[in-house]
Amino acid sequence: MLVTIVVSCAEISEDEKDTATETQDVNTRYGKNLVTLPPLTEVAKNETAQWSVFDDLEANLITLKNQPIGVIRAKSEQMSAQSDSLLKKIPEALDTRPVYARMVLANTRAKLLEQVANYDRLDSLQLEESLQEMNLAGANLFIEINRTFKKNKIDDELKETEKKELEKQQRFLDSVYQAEIIDNNSN
């Protein structure tokens, strides 16, 4: 009988510890040190507007900072589904290997964050690390999207400059040709 009482007290003590841990987890906020994501350029914003779920993913990434575990769980599930959707249909202007690679990484980080946030026993250090990695993956995705449009702008400017130079050379050749015709006709 004494053994039964001791075992029962031990079980009650474990239940109280679990309840205390859950209460602490509900009040604890995670991701306090997440950096602000780089803003998208206007051109990038216009193009990503066609990528229907991107705005939702961006909003979830921005609001991950300083949240309780319940919010992080919900946001990580949403980001996992959103990144899956984004990978299926990438707009033509963004369909480059670097953007795709950053999107795959963001998708992987979202799934890992979801997994860590939903562990039965929450490891706060691992959760913080996973939040940092998700934040970094999101920042790298934004940087690469901006870089893609910057590169496209430079490429377009180079093509335009090259086109103008070719037109200038063609006008010069035409004038030389016309001068030769006039010279031949006068002889």
Query: In this structure, what DSSP letter does residue 41 have?
Result: P
CA distance 171 to 174: 5
pLDDT tens readout for residues 103-116 = 999 999 999 999 99
pLDDT at 23 over 70: no
Q: Which of 10-14, 32-36, 54-58, 104-108 has the lowest mean pLDDT?
A: 10-14
Q: What class, spelled out in words, does domain 38-170 have in CATH?
A: mainly alpha
Q: Evaluate if residue 167 carries a pLDDT over 70.
A: yes
Could you tell me which of 90, 91, 37 has the C-alpha nearest to residue 59? 37
Q: What is the Rg, in whole angstroms, of the alpha carbon atoms belonging to the chain?
A: 29
The residue assigned the tokens 């939040």 is 131
Q: What is the mean pLDDT of residues 22-39?
A: 80
Domain borders along the chain are 38-170
Give the separation between CA 57 and CA 64, rounded to whole angstroms: 11
> Which of 29-38, 121-130, 169-178 has the lowest average pLDDT?
169-178
pLDDT at res. 170: 82
